[in-house]
Structure 1
Amino acid sequence: MDLERFDLPRYLSMLPLFQEMQPPELQRLAAGSKLRQLARGDDVFHLGERCNEFHVAVTGQIKLFAISPAGQEKIIEIVGPGNSFAEALMFTDKPYFINAQALSDCLLVSVGKEAVLREITHDPRFCMRMLAGLSRRLHGLVNDVQAYALHSGVERVIGYLMRDLPEDGGEAASVQLPVSKASIASRLSMTPEYFSKVLRELEDNGLIEVDKREIRLLDTQRLARYPLK
């Protein structure tokens, strides 16, 4: 992608956080932002680095993760195109407490703190939109904690596979895993081996078919009820 031709103000205007801003405001915000091209495995930031900006994934996938004292990686969130991260931390004047790394080739917009503070001062409604976005993120994290605490591994996998399907969906559907099975397993707080075991169980019961990263849901209504008879 030719970064010099990338229309950053226009891209920002399409994001929910910025879509009510006027062209002069978008120009100011873009002037305080930067575009970054990342290859798979490139770091966005490290634990302990100072946080002076927040980030938006334009293309690709970013994983937010922590490392346990034993050296095990736990993926906290997988961020896809159009989604932002590190907004809340940017306002705390504290360093990053997790790591971020590209799971695939990515294009990233990093929006500087000073540019954000300038627009908040100029228009308090911008602050309200940012708070709304942070509230949605918090709600999602609370739902995740509830799922880990109250749902079995099988239920978590089924919930992940059906998360984007309409409630009144048809009998069959197809899901393309955006990242590796190991990454998704970490996101669901399970080992890769157990994640694969659950997929085999669902496949043996005629509920899904697995073809590398494509998973065909053969009967979404039965899958939603599984393992109930």
Structure 2
Amino acid sequence: MDKTKIKVQEFLARVPLFNSMGPEELNRIALGTTEVRAERGQQIFQRGDPCVGFHQVLYGQVKLSFTSVTGVEKVIELIGPGHSFGEALMFMGSPYIVSAQATEDTLLLHVSKPVIYREIHHDAEFACKMLAGLSQRMHSLMCDMESYALRSGTQRVAGYLLKELRDPQATQLTLPATKAVLASRLNLTPEHFSRILADLSLQNLIAFKGRKITILNPEGLRHHAGH
């Protein structure tokens, strides 16, 4: 067995979807898995391309978006390490409805559809894991829709900053993308996003320089987020 296959299996073993599999199953998955390396700014696929598997991000970040007829980009999701995308369209047999672009130097695994179908057929636990992952993605998108419809721009930004903190004890974070990309992700114009950050700063809730944010008053920010 060549070294690249062993490397792919080591990567696969770290993926939550595959972490309960033994060497034999990982060998089978590895046969249908390819590494995809993308430099910052590189397109991984375009809307309309055939979807013949799903991607798993090992490091870096991928932006999923579509562009309107007027050329305005709408960012749907930012996919970071440990997360995957494309499963639903793979099962539907549909082409991609979004485009994917690396926002950082990124390493992904592309796992082909036939391999996934084979494992679902053989392993009920694996099928349940896939369903859980798809359900989690759908729930997350529904929460986004609720947020766009029912929460103000300030609530969305405050909630996003608190979510990005991850560790409740932390007070500093680095925004994972440009302000323009994050504004689109939160369904705001870049100008509105910048105004909200400036307003939160004037209220001494946050301080920011470039993409580095310091939370000065977590309790006050939680109040603005409606938590």
Equivalent residue of 1:50, what SS?
coil
Over 3 Å counting, the alpha-carbon distance change for 1:110 and 1:5 in structure 2 is closer
Work out which of the residue numbers 183, 186, 192 in structure 1 matches 2:184: 186
Equivalent residue of 2:147, what SS?
helix
Superposed CA RMSD:
1.8
Structure 2: runs of 5 or more not aligned: none
Map of 2:130 onto structure 1: 130
Alpha-carbon deviation of 1:165?
4.2
- Alpha-carbon distance in structure 2 between the residues aligned to 1:124 and 1:103: 36
Amino acid aligned to 2:115: A
Map of 1:225 onto structure 2: 223
Alpha-carbon deviation of 1:6?
7.0
After superposition, give the CA deviation of every residue in 1:168-208 in whole Å (9 maximum; x if it has no partner).
Answer: x45x7111111111111110001111111000000011110
Equivalent residue of 2:76, what SS?
strand
- Alpha-carbon distance in structure 1 between the residues aligned to 2:4 and 2:105: 18
Q: TM (normalized to structure 1)?
A: 0.93
- Alpha-carbon distance in structure 1 between the residues aligned to 2:50 and 2:166: 41
- Alpha-carbon distance in structure 2 between the residues aligned to 1:219 and 1:97: 40
After superposition, give the CA deviation of every residue in 1:93-118 in whole Å (9 maximum; x if it has no partner).
Answer: 11111111111111111000011111
Instruction: Note if 1:98 corresponds to 2:98.
Output: yes
Over 3 Å counting, the alpha-carbon distance change for 1:164 and 1:64 in structure 2 is same
Contact 2:165 2:172 in 1 (8 A): no
Amino acid aligned to 2:88: A
More helix, by proportion: 2
Aligned residues: 224
Map of 2:201 onto structure 1: 203
- Alpha-carbon distance in structure 2 between the residues aligned to 1:101 and 1:166: 25
- Alpha-carbon distance in structure 2 between the residues aligned to 1:27 and 1:5: 8
Structure 1: runs of 5 or more not aligned: none
- Alpha-carbon distance in structure 2 between the residues aligned to 1:85 and 1:107: 14
Over 3 Å counting, the alpha-carbon distance change for 1:195 and 1:6 in structure 2 is farther
Instruction: Note if 1:89 corresponds to 2:89.
Output: yes
Equivalent residue of 2:176, what SS?
coil
Over 3 Å counting, the alpha-carbon distance change for 1:5 and 1:118 in structure 2 is closer
Alpha-carbon deviation of 1:121?
1.5
The percent identity for this pair of structures is: 43
